[in-house]
Amino acid sequence: MPQLPSTTDLVIRNDIAQLAILSEAMERFGSKHALAPKLLVQLQVALDEIVSNVIKYAWPEGGSHEIRVRITFDSGKMTIEIADDGRSFDPRRAPPPEHLPAGQRPRPGGVGLHMVKQFMDSFEYARIDGWNHSTLTKAIDIRTK
Amino acid sequence: MAKSSLQMAEVRAGQNCVLALTGRIDSTNADELTARVNRLFAAGEKYLVVDFKEVLYLTSAAFRVLLVATDEAERSAARFALSSVFGQVRELFEMGGLLDAFTIHASREEALAQTG
């Protein structure tokens, strides 16, 4: 049976504590569509990495801002869209600088985005009307129940 | 909503200390974990093992904490290792390319058997 498209829209503030709202929403979305636990973790990590970058770097001037997240599942494809009106920034290209002590051996900079690229099939970015839009997609095997 | 999805328990094993983690490590609690590890090294711990047996999920925020802890251990002339990194969590280390960045033991017991 083909499933109808299913969409969840979420709006959070640029407060790191609000990441939990996204994890919980993804969890509910995952159980609704019977996603394998491993896949669910990958999607949660991808969403977490992108949004935590936005929270940390999009608004250097501070203040309270909105981050909009839309999760869509349609025809075996999961799409996660993340939008913010912070400074223009393509997360695929420039890993934000890491503020770490000098002389460190392995550098964590860019690890999160590297993981996002590995977990997802596509990772697109566009700047539209003053908003950054990151769009992640992944094909999902629909498990027969 | 629970304030933190990460629990931390210190278990003394003679001269050594095991920090057993339970739950999720992400940006919401990475600072708490860093503070705890720094406090242990500042208190003079010479061998700290972070046990991942009950960790279900982590993001790159966890790797940042562990890399900083590795440096902190060096500055404090202490040793730092991880134990019980399995399954999904191990895969996340692999995906992050960080499986080789740390000393990882199969179990807490094996980690503690490694003397100086």
Domain boundaries, chain A: 6-139
Residue A98 has pLDDT above 70, yes or no: no
Residues 30-69 of A with CB under 8 A from B: 37-38, 41, 44-45, 48-49, 52, 55-56
Q: Which residues contact A86 (CB under 8 A, 6 or more apart)?
A: A54, A57, A58, A59, A65, A132
C-beta of residue B47 within 8 angstroms of C-beta of residue B63: no
Query: How is residue B65 written in tokens?
Result: 């904490």
Q: Most B CBs within 10 Å: which of A12, A16, A53, as the mutation test of the B interface? A: A16
Fold of A6-139: Heat Shock Protein 90 (3.30.565)
Q: Supply the pLDDT for residue A144.
A: 40
Residue A101 has pLDDT above 60, yes or no: no
Q: Supply the pLDDT for residue B19.
A: 98
What is the rounded average pLDDT of the residues A101-128?
82
Q: Supply the pLDDT for residue A15.
A: 96
Q: Which residues contact A14 (CB under 8 A, 6 or more apart)?
A: A54, A55, A58, A59, A64, A65, A66, A67, A84
β-bridge partners, B57? B24
Q: Does B38 touch chain A (CB under 8 A)?
A: no
Q: Supply the pLDDT for residue A97.
A: 46
Residue A89 has pLDDT above 50, yes or no: yes
pLDDT interval class at A142 (50, 70, 90) = low
CA distance A136 to A113: 12
Helix axes A37-57, B87-95, angle to 10 degrees: 50
ipTM of the complex, rounded to two decimals: 0.88
Residue A135 has pLDDT above 70, yes or no: yes
Q: Most B CBs within 10 Å: which of A19, A26, A44, A115, as the mutation test of the B interface? A: A115
- Classify residue A135 by its DSSP letter: E
Contacts of B60 in chain A (CB under 8 A): 49, 108, 111-112, 115
Residue of A52, A105, A106 lying closest to B61 (CB–CB): A52
CA distance B108 to B81: 10
Q: Do B92 and A45 touch (CB under 8 A)?
A: yes
Q: Supply the pLDDT for residue B79.
A: 97
Distance, CA of A72 to chain centre: 13
DSSP strand pairing (B47-58 vs B79-83): parallel
Counting one residue from A and one from B, how many pairs have CB atoms under 8 Å apart?
Answer: 76
Longest dimension (CA), chain B: 43
Mean pLDDT of chain B: 93
C-beta of residue B57 within 8 angstroms of C-beta of residue B24: yes
Residue B53 has pLDDT above 60, yes or no: yes
